[in-house]
Amino acid sequence: MTALALALRELAARPWQAVVLAEPVPLDALPTPALVLDEGAFERNLERMQVFLAAHGKGMRPHAKTHKCPVIAHRQLAAGAVGICVAKVSEAAAMIGAGVDRVLVTSPVVDAARAGLLAELSRRSTALDVVVDSARGLELLAAAVRPDDRLGVLVDVDVAMGRTGAREADTIVGLAAGASAAPGLVYRGIQHYAGQVMHLDGRDVRRERSLALWARVAEIVERLRAQGLEPPVVTGAGTGTYDIDCEVACLTDLQVGSFVFMDQQYRVIGGAAGPEFADFEVALSVLTTAISQPRSGLVTVDGGYKAFAADAGAPVILGAPLGANDRCEYRFAGDEHGVLLPRGDTLPALGERVRFVVPHCDPTVNLYDWYWVCRDGMAREIWPITARGCSW
Ligand SMILES: Cc1ncc(COP(=O)(O)O)c(C=O)c1O
């Protein structure tokens, strides 16, 4: 059996653990399309965020919806994270099943089946929290737990996004009071996430918008405090505002997700130092192969809609400086293919590998079963995307 076949057998047996390849595989020998993680860049991103937030007196609560990988979650906790976030109950089950502790579910639950599963999962972990934004959700959670359970509850606060969260101050206070009073539930605090601000062009624009929203959250914190419901945890924020929201006094920890990988959508938002948001390195890429040339002036690679999430534009060749107009241009050409059109660059020859920065990391990751983890240009480990498809 080849080293690769052995590794895949090992992965199938324990799809939550890293598999070390018996022999490193050169990237050019990987079957494509392949999701490649540069371990060095990933580790530097993680350390940079942790050190930055700690220096500002804030905790890091990374969002695992980005990576869906228990190996990465364990590394984030080992790096000093106060906990991890997941978007959905099924992701929480995958993470807790892999021994990941201190999980916060950041979407509300309004059905008995999921509330029951959360109650059960809370008995298998030292700390499991979930957000709530309705009386119905709170009632279902209270009905699902036993009096001696300790399922944590945070009230999700919506200031302006209009996606999830309670907006009225009376509702927020009522939910916090209800969570405090319910046997088996523990009131842990509030969440506020402003996804509409994360990708705004220009740091100054993001700063003004984000701090204005947090000022409203601070008023809600005051209101809760006045009612004897001061939130021990105020969690929120994301990669696009991490260095802005760390100024917010009431915020205790940041739910940063994409920074571990970076994607094209984030590279272009502009940073403190210029038009590129370059605080974090591009650690994630998709490797493809040039497989066909139906006519001159065009080459087809073996990655299309099944290799890249297409909600944020086209993939960009890895290594191209922002705005560079001298690389080949990628256009989606169906589920399995993309075509490269020349600009200044010459087209790749058949069989040549082409690596891309992904347009949007989270939904791209959800298209793959594992990361090829590389160091020094060689794939050395496979890390499973255990929570792939866990969208409920
Ligand atoms: C509730 C919540 N928190 C945090 C994040 C992480 O955001 P980012 O990937 O921009 O860091 C997201 C992403 O959508 C989110 O929905």
Could you read off the pLDDT of 349-388 as tens digits, one per residue?
Answer: 999 999 999 999 999 999 999 999 999 999 999 999 999 9
Using the atom order of ligand 1, give the atom closest to the CA of residue 195: 14
Same domain, yes or no, for 65 and 186? yes
Same domain, yes or no, for 317 and 328? yes
Please indicate, yes or no, if residue 389 is contained in any of the structural domains. Answer: no
Same domain, yes or no, for 246 and 100? yes
The answer on pLDDT for 286 being more than 90 is yes
Q: What is the pLDDT of residues 35-81, one digit of tens each?
A: 999 999 999 999 999 999 999 999 999 999 999 999 999 999 999 99
Residue 377 Cα to ligand 1 midpoint, Å, equals: 30
Residue 100 Cα to ligand 1 midpoint, Å, equals: 19
The three-class DSSP label of residue 315 is coil
Please indicate, yes or no, if residue 32 is contained in any of the structural domains. Answer: yes
Q: How far apart are CA 144 and CA 113, in angstroms?
A: 9
Please indicate, yes or no, if residue 264 is contained in any of the structural domains. Answer: no
63, 146, 175, 285 from 135: Cα distances, Å: 26, 19, 7, 43
The answer on pLDDT for 273 being more than 90 is no
How many domains are there within the chain? 2
Amino acid 324: pLDDT: 73
Same domain, yes or no, for 284 and 340? yes
Same domain, yes or no, for 13 and 129? no
Using the atom order of ligand 1, give the atom closest to the CA of residue 199: 10
Same domain, yes or no, for 197 and 220? yes
Looking up residue 313, the CATH number of its domain turns out to be 2.40.37.20
Structural domain range at position 93: 40-258
CB of 70 closer than 6 angstroms to any ligand 1 atom: no
pLDDT, the chain, mean:
96
The answer on pLDDT for 250 being more than 90 is yes
Nearest CA to ligand 1 atom 2: 193
CB of 256 closer than 6 angstroms to any ligand 1 atom: yes
Same domain, yes or no, for 291 and 194? no
Q: Which residues contact 130 (CB under 8 A, 6 or more apart)?
A: 89, 104, 105, 108, 109, 118, 141, 151, 152, 153, 154
DSSP 330-367: EEE-SSS-EEEE-SSSPPPPTT-EEEEE-S-HHHHHTT
Please indicate, yes or no, if residue 168 is contained in any of the structural domains. Answer: yes
Same domain, yes or no, for 360 and 241? no
Q: How far apart are CA 185 and CA 189, in angstroms?
A: 12
Nearest alpha carbon to residue 361 among 288, 269, 284: 284
Which residue in the block uniquely carries the two structure tokens 């079957």?
Answer: 31
Nearest CA to ligand 1 atom 7: 238
Same domain, yes or no, for 47 and 28? no
The mean per-residue pLDDT over the stretch 138-151 comes to 98
Q: What is the pLDDT of residues 153-191, one digit of tens each?
A: 999 999 999 999 999 999 999 999 999 999 999 999 999
Same domain, yes or no, for 99 and 214? yes
Looking up residue 46, the CATH number of its domain turns out to be 3.20.20.10
Please indicate, yes or no, if residue 269 is contained in any of the structural domains. Answer: no
- Provide the percentage of residues in the chain whose pLDDT is more than 90: 94
Question: String of b and e for 300-317 (b: at least 16 CB within 10 Å)?
Answer: bbbbbeebbbeebeebbb
Nearest CA to ligand 1 atom 4: 255
Same domain, yes or no, for 21 and 128? no
Q: Is the separation of the CB atoms in 371 and 385 below 8 Å?
A: yes
Same domain, yes or no, for 109 and 188? yes
Q: How far apart are CA 15 and CA 97, in angstroms?
A: 11
Q: How far apart are CA 148 and CA 294, in angstroms?
A: 67
The answer on pLDDT for 328 being more than 80 is yes
